Amino acid sequence: MKPPRQPVSLSRREFIGRASAGAAAMALAPHIRAADLPPPKLGIAILGLGGYAGGQLAPALKLTQNVQITGVVTGTPSKGLNWSQVFGFPEKAIYSYDTMARLADNPTIDLVYVVTPNALHKDHVIAAAKAGKHVITEKPMGVSVAECDAMIAACRAAKVKLSVGYRLHFDPYFAEVTRLAKDKDVGPFKRMGGGFGFTMTEPQWRAEKKLAGGGPLMDLGIYSIQAAGIAKGEVPPVAITALEQPKKRPEFFRDVEETIEWAMDYADGTRAEFVTSYNGGANRFRAESDKGWIDLSPAFSYNGLQGATHQGKLSFEPAVNQQARQLDHIAQCIREGRESDVPGEMGRRDLIIIEAIYKSAAQGGKRVEIKV
Ligand code: NAD
């Protein structure tokens, strides 16, 4: 049976063409010493070949300098075959969730990128760590702090690095947030706000607590938490207050929130107020100090971010690929044996905040103190 076409957009011919161009260049330059060559790319296996893997990570993997795809883990063999043909890795590097312990025997795979529904991250991260592979897991890192603890412990025990797919850290608009926060003529930021939401119409796992762990907060609200982290130099808030809005489509959002608003208070008096929803569009982040501000809209998209500061419109050219930069950064950190800028501990911090938001909302907006 012919495998269905997947949204993987690098053709085999293009891939092989590029590989042989590299080989030809090498043959023309036999005097190049090993020390002059860039270090070999790390090999990555993508686990979970759904929308984000095919739509964003596959194109990013065409651009990465430090990492290349050398395998996949999937429950759908035809998808695995398609990826192996497109990227040129052997069929024996297609694993299923049940056979992924065998990753341990494949030296071409250095790390595994977990891109399955949220509630599956924990088991997949732990299985990858047990196979001796470094791990990146998509956001949210898990669906509870306890799950994050288990993942961090498993990666420590296996002596592998754990990072989260927090792509905003690799976008120049958020680098500008960091720069302004540190600029003595602007920062520190004292007020923040914004939100991320869309109207969900198709039934999907994101609206099921069992697989998603929650509603838009787990999926989209986490971006506002990340943005606030970037604007505050990763200093966490000390207290949370939150309110869930009454559901307009309770039959659709049976066991997850539809819209939730929350505030985060910081030890230095900073206050951040955000909203996230599956029943209305929003895509904005704003941070203000007494001396300046930055306002991004769209703030959280894969590309095409726009924004302005008190000094005028922002423009960063050429456009970057957030995911390629994220992958290259994490691979570089693994090579150098250091933690990435988006480690598992950051994912755990965000789950502490998320749990406090749900706790406050469940108590009708009662202030919940947190300690990260
Ligand atoms: P998706 O539904 O498109 O893909 C999920 C994949 O997991 C599918 O290939 C599916 O077959 C597989 N899977 C394995 N076991 C499953 C099960 N029991 N139930 C359902 N699917 C199962 O989802 P997605 O949009 O690719 O999201 C995957 C992860 O990536 C989520 O954690 C999500 O939050 C994250 N994500 C991150 C970004 C980002 O910008 N960083 C964007 C989108 C998604």
pLDDT classification of 166: cutoffs 50, 70, 90: very high
Domain total of the chain: 2
pLDDT, tens digit (0-9, with 9 covering 90-100), for 80-134: 999 999 999 999 999 999 999 999 999 999 999 999 999 999 999 999 999 999 9
Q: Which of 95, 116, 225, 354 to mutate to test the pocket of ligand 1 (most atoms within 8 A of CB)?
A: 116
The whole-angstrom separation of Cα 122 and Cα 208 is 17
Nearest CA to ligand 1 atom 44: 52
User: Is the CB of residue 124 below 6 angstroms from any atom belonging to ligand 1?
Assistant: no
Write down the pLDDT at residue 32: 63
Picking from 239, 249, 320, the residue whose alpha carbon sits closest to that of residue 272 is 239
pLDDT at 15 over 50: no
Residues 185 and 262 reside in one and the same domain: yes
Write down the pLDDT at residue 6: 43
Which residue type is seen at 363?
Answer: Q
Picking from 22, 69, 33, 67, the residue whose alpha carbon sits closest to that of residue 49 is 69
325: in domain: no
Residues 56 and 152 reside in one and the same domain: yes
Which CATH number is 289's domain given? 3.30.360.10
User: Is the CB of residue 52 below 6 angstroms from any atom belonging to ligand 1?
Assistant: yes
User: Is the CB of residue 221 below 6 angstroms from any atom belonging to ligand 1?
Assistant: no
Instruction: Assign 286 to helix, strand or coil.
Output: strand
User: Is the CB of residue 49 below 6 angstroms from any atom belonging to ligand 1?
Assistant: yes
Residues 124 and 242 reside in one and the same domain: no
pLDDT at 189 over 90: yes
Residues 50 and 141 reside in one and the same domain: yes
Instruction: Assign 93 to helix, strand or coil.
Output: helix
Report whether 286 contacts 295 (CB < 8 A). Answer: yes
pLDDT classification of 30: cutoffs 50, 70, 90: low
Residue where a domain stops, chosen among 138, 164, 190: 164
Which residues is 287 bridged to in the sheet? 192, 294
Ligand 1 geometric centre to CA of 310 (Å): 38
Ligand 1 geometric centre to CA of 48 (Å): 7
For the whole prediction, is pTM greater than 0.75? yes
Cβ-count burial of 271 within 10 angstroms (0-12 exposed, 13-18 middle, 19+ buried)? middle
For residue 55, the ligand 1 atom closest to its alpha carbon is 26
**Peptide bond preceding 3: is omega within 30 degrees of 0, i.e. cis?**
no
Residue where a domain stops, chosen among 164, 189, 215: 164
pLDDT at 17 over 50: no
User: Is the CB of residue 115 below 6 angstroms from any atom belonging to ligand 1?
Assistant: yes
Ligand 1 geometric centre to CA of 115 (Å): 5
Q: Which of 82, 115, 256, 278 to mutate to test the pocket of ligand 1 (most atoms within 8 A of CB)?
A: 115
Cβ atoms within 10 Å of 106's Cβ, excluding its own? 18
Residues 362 and 256 reside in one and the same domain: yes
Instruction: Assign 94 to helix, strand or coil.
Output: strand
pLDDT, tens digit (0-9, with 9 covering 90-100), for 291-317: 999 999 999 999 999 999 999 999 999
pLDDT, tens digit (0-9, with 9 covering 90-100), for 312-356: 999 999 999 999 999 999 999 999 999 999 999 999 999 999 999
Residues 174 and 159 reside in one and the same domain: no
User: Is the CB of residue 344 below 6 angstroms from any atom belonging to ligand 1?
Assistant: no
Residues 178 and 153 reside in one and the same domain: no
215: in domain: yes
The whole-angstrom separation of Cα 63 and Cα 70 is 15
Write down the pLDDT at residue 23: 42
Ligand 1 geometric centre to CA of 328 (Å): 22
Ligand 1 geometric centre to CA of 297 (Å): 25
pLDDT classification of 10: cutoffs 50, 70, 90: very low
What's the mean pLDDT when you consider all of the chain?
93
Residues 86 and 30 reside in one and the same domain: yes
Residues 183 and 211 reside in one and the same domain: yes
Phi and psi of 199, rounded to 5°?
-90, 115
Structural domain range at position 76: 12-164
Pairing of strands 94-95, 162-164: unpaired
Residues 364 and 273 reside in one and the same domain: yes
Instruction: Assign 196 to helix, strand or coil.
Output: strand
User: Is the CB of residue 205 below 6 angstroms from any atom belonging to ligand 1?
Assistant: yes
Write down the pLDDT at residue 12: 38
User: Is the CB of residue 169 below 6 angstroms from any atom belonging to ligand 1?
Assistant: no
Exposure of 32 in the CB half-sphere (CA atoms within 13 A): 11
Ligand 1 geometric centre to CA of 114 (Å): 9
pLDDT classification of 33: cutoffs 50, 70, 90: confident
pLDDT, tens digit (0-9, with 9 covering 90-100), for 62-72: 999 999 999 99
pLDDT classification of 29: cutoffs 50, 70, 90: low
Which CATH number is 37's domain given? 3.40.50.720
Report whether 134 contacts 159 (CB < 8 A). Answer: no
Residue where a domain stops, chosen among 119, 146, 164: 164
